[in-house]
Amino acid sequence: MRNVLGEAASPYLRQHEHNPVHWQVWGPVALEAAQRLNRPILLSIGYAACHWCHVMAHESFENPEIAALMNAHFVNIKVDREERPDLDQLYMGALHAMGEQGGWPLTMVLTPKGEPFWGGTYFPPAPRFGRPGFAQVLQALATAWEQDQTRIGEVVQGLGQALATQAAPQPGDTPGPDLLDSARAAFLRAMDWAQGGLSGAPKFPNIPVFGFLWQEYFRTGDARAAEALHLLLERMSMGGIYDHLGGGYARYATDDVWLVPHFEKMLYDNALILEMLACAHAHRPNPLYAARARETVGWLTRDMAADGAFAAAEDADSEGEEGKFYVWTRDEAAAVLGAEADFFASHYPLPEGGNWEGHIILERSAPFADEARLAPLRVRLFAHRAGRIRPARDDKVLADWNALTIAALVRAGLVFGEPGWVELAGRVFDSVLAAMGQTDGRIAHASRAGVVFAHGLLEDQAAMIRAALRLYQARGDTARLDTALRILAATERYFGDEQGAFFMAASDARDTPPVRVRAAQDGPAYSGISLMAENYAMLFHLTGEASYRAKADALLAAYGGRRDRLMGAPGLLVAADLLENTACVVVTDGAEALAAVALASPDPAMVLVRAGEGLSPGHPAYGKTVSGPAAFICRGGVCAMPVTTPDEVRALLRREEKPGAG
């Protein structure tokens, strides 16, 4: 065997093409080799922007002695988790079932058939940090495979049962108000009301959780639920997790005050945060939100453009050091800023000894003001930073992450008065569809330089449907709705499980893992299951077709048997509320001013329909007519009297706030 990663398309896999490890790619060839040789599989899962993946690669996978152990006793498979999130979810679930904490790099050992029996994350080459050395681990595993296959078989059987249970839906009642109330209360108890986000460190944006809280504000009027999102966005947007010079948010902060980021920037994080900035600004206009939205879109268009869409991520490391591209010393910053250094430091502290490992991570300490004077100073620092060696960029295009970005650009463009962002969203959608759309309605998952190299997953289908529905509402282009319905038909055909839910991989995929994944839990982004439930709810309100309501109910009920698990699927709770409480705004011809007000509403439980766009007889606005521009606002199957002014639309969409409710 030899290292074949030089033939891979994934930038992450190509990073390992010169390792002395005989890396294989996941697929029938590698699995058949493992079975032929009767060797266990050493599976290493990571991604291009992962700092500790780089550390383990340098310490162990570039080490000839460790590589020799790996090559002698294992079939070694390297996986890009962004290319194969289905594999990552399955084997991360296996690690959790072993009682271990997850993370990347994910290091799993499998039988030749791909069944997990041991796992961990990062291992140093020799014992340290209280962890065994990787060489020791490899030797012990090789010995166990040779001498204790009975015990390994017992572990495989137990983990297999646990994974099958994880993958199976658990039918029950659809989530109701009592469950939404208890979930909101639990998340609010977990809030850090001083620094924003959930309590403790590290701190992640956790947008599915805060998106649920935001929607709960509009369902219940609980002012704390809205304040939770505002506090999160304000603290993150002032902290070191935000790139104050180039725009964009890092993946998470390693501390509990948002100062020290894990410097990688991911497309999906920034898409979801951009959408929340728009919602929060629509509710409570804030120049901080507007600035961060425009700067983040600037980062997307300047640094992340790839093949007519957006690249997946930017690395945390440059020149072998995490964060080196982004940090400063006081002397370096002062040399660039000159006489304005002290003024700048009164807004962005420049302590002599640094605020992180002897360096300075820029954070905003003063209120958001003095922008006319500060902006040119940031431009100077940005220009100086541009002369440094940049972190690597993972330039593959992922359909699902781009679809999240499309939806965010639409909402943000409508709220911030940037029609160009909506047009950009449409162009990116068309580009992704042209590059990765298939004739049967399926969407491939990944492409690079115009070459598709990963089959489509449920997340790609669901996120593209959602993006198409967002574009349809923004411009009233019925071709977008037709596209959404064509993708939906393929999703139901190839991904449906005949129990109301969906598998993550298609029914005809050849290189799936031994357990077919059905994942309802949300991670840093929404699961495909959550997005499909949202899509069905939206389609029901957009069209009035009872079949969409029935499908939404069935999908929600498929996971209703475990209330505790639904806490990990806030996207499903969001969909349950959308199904029951969405406001449908139906505008007549010539009422684009009224449509604009509705589309810029802060309430996420709102859909917009233009009269005459094929409402079914089951829609509450079916057959309603009025002379002149007007809007009907329908809730719970009942439409209010038509209104004709933007202020009337705003008033009908406004919800009463209840401080301390719940």
Report how far residue 578's alpha carbon sits from residue 605's, in angstroms, rounded to the nearest whole number: 6
Q: Do 472 and 379 fall into the same domain?
A: no
| Contact call for residues 528 and 504 (beta carbons, < 8 A) | yes
Indicate whether 374 and 243 sit together in one domain: no
Which amino acid, residue 504?
M
Contact 646, 631 (CB under 8 A): no
Q: What confidence score (pLDDT) does residue 662 get?
A: 43
Domain count for the chain:
4
What's the average model confidence in pLDDT over 253-269? 96
Strand 317-318 to strand 321-322: parallel, antiparallel, or no bridges (unpaired)?
antiparallel
372: helix, coil or strand? helix
416 within some domain:
yes
CA-based nearest residue to 411, from 244, 276, 577: 276
Please report the pLDDT score of residue 159 as a whole number: 87
Residue 621 lies in a domain: yes
Q: Quick check: 117 and 159 in contact, CB under 8 A?
A: yes
- Please tell me whether residues 119 and 190 are part of one structural domain: no
Q: What is the DSSP string of 572-625?
A: HHHHHHHHHHPEEEEE-TT-HHHHHHHHT-S-SSEEEEETTS---TTSTTTT--
Tell which of 520, 552, 581 closes a domain: 581
Query: CA 343 → CA 276, 312, 327, 348, distances in Å?
Result: 31, 36, 19, 9
Q: Tokens standing for 453?
A: 């190299």
Final residue of a structural domain among 140, 167, 194:
167
Kind of pairing between the strands at 451-454 and 397-398: unpaired
Integer CA distances (angstroms), 559 to 167, 213, 514, 555, 567, in order: 11, 20, 22, 7, 11
- Cα–Cα distance, 292 to 248 (Å, whole number): 8
> Is 9 part of a structural domain of the chain?
yes
Q: Which residues are within 8 A (CB) of 424 and not within 5 positions of it... i.e. 6 or more apart?
A: 301, 409, 413
Mean pLDDT (whole number) for 385-399: 96
Residues 79 and 206 in one domain: no
pLDDT at residue 487, rounded to an integer: 98
Q: Same structural domain for residues 255 and 403? A: yes
Indicate the pLDDT class of residue 613, thresholds 50, 70 and 90.
low
**pLDDT at position 562, please?**
80
Check: CB of residue 512 under 8 Å from CB of residue 493: no
Cis, bond preceding 659 (omega within 30 deg of 0): no
Specify if 658 maps to a domain. Answer: no
pLDDT at 208 over 50: yes
Q: Is residue 141 part of a domain?
A: yes
| Lowest-pLDDT choice from 72-86, 324-338, 596-610, 641-655 | 641-655
Q: What is the pLDDT of residue 201?
A: 95
Cα separation, 106 vs 91, in Å, equals 8
Phi, psi of 101 (to 5 degrees): -80, 140
> In sequence order, what are the residues at sequence separation of 6 or more whose Cβ sits closer than 8 angstroms to the Cβ of residue 199?
190, 191, 192, 256
Residues of the chain by 3-state class (helix, strand, coil), percent to 5: 50, 15, 40
Asked if residue 573 and residue 587 are part of one domain, the reply reads no
Q: Contact at 8 Å (CB) between 621 and 573?
A: no
522 within domain boundaries: yes
Angle made by CA atoms 526, 530, 531, in degrees to the nearest 5 = 80
Same domain for 402 and 519? yes
Tokens 């994944």 sit on residue: 517
Contact 218, 189 (CB under 8 A): no
Closest-CA residue to 453 (of 50, 24, 83): 83
Range of the domain at 383: 326-387
Cα distance between residue 350 and residue 363, in whole Å: 9
User: Does a structural domain hold residue 661?
Assistant: no
DSSP state of 261: E
Q: What is the rounded average pLDDT of the residues 38-47? A: 96
The pLDDT tens digits of the residues spanning 99-135 come to: 888 899 999 999 999 999 999 999 999 988 778 899 9
436-456 pLDDT, tens digit each: 999 999 999 999 998 999 999
Angle, vertex CA 426, rays to CA 481 and CA 290, nearest 5: 115
Query: Does one domain contain both 111 and 48?
Result: yes
Model confidence over 325-384: pLDDT tens digits?
Answer: 999 999 999 999 999 999 999 999 999 999 999 999 999 999 998 999 999 999 999 999
Domain boundary among 167, 193, 222: 167
For residues 196, 201, 203 and 204, what is the CA-based torsion angle, rounded to 10 degrees?
Answer: -130
Query: Cα–chain-centroid distance for residue 449?
Result: 23
pTM of the model: 0.94
Residue type for 450, please?
A: G
Q: Quick check: is 298 in a domain? A: yes
Beta bridge partners of 321: 318
Q: Give the model's pLDDT for residue 174.
A: 92
pLDDT band at 510 (very low <50, low <70, confident <90, very high): confident
Quick one: DSSP state of residue 406?
A: H
Q: Could you give the 3-state DSSP secondary structure of residue 534?
A: helix
Residues of the chain above pLDDT 70, percent: 98
- The model's pLDDT over 399-431, given as tens digits with 9 standing for 90+, comes to 999 999 999 999 999 999 999 999 999 999 999
Same domain flag for 274 and 192: yes
Same domain, 573 and 600: no
Give the burial class of 36: count Cβ atoms within 10 A of its Cβ; 0-12 exposed, 13-18 middle, 19 or more buried.
exposed
Residue 6 DSSP one-character state = G
Same structural domain, 576 and 590: no
The residue among 100, 119, 102, 96 whose CA lies nearest residue 165 is 96
Mark whether 145 and 221 lie in a shared domain: no
- The whole-angstrom separation of Cα 353 and Cα 185 is 42
Q: How confident is the model at residue 160 (pLDDT cuts 50, 70, 90)?
A: confident
pLDDT at 564: 80
Closest CA to 425 of 534, 275, 556: 275
Is the distance from CB of 312 to CB of 401 less than 8 angstroms? yes
Which segment of 73-87, 382-396, 519-533, 610-624 scores lowest on mean pLDDT?
Answer: 610-624
Say if CB 188 and CB 661 are below 8 A apart. no
575 token code pair:
């969909």
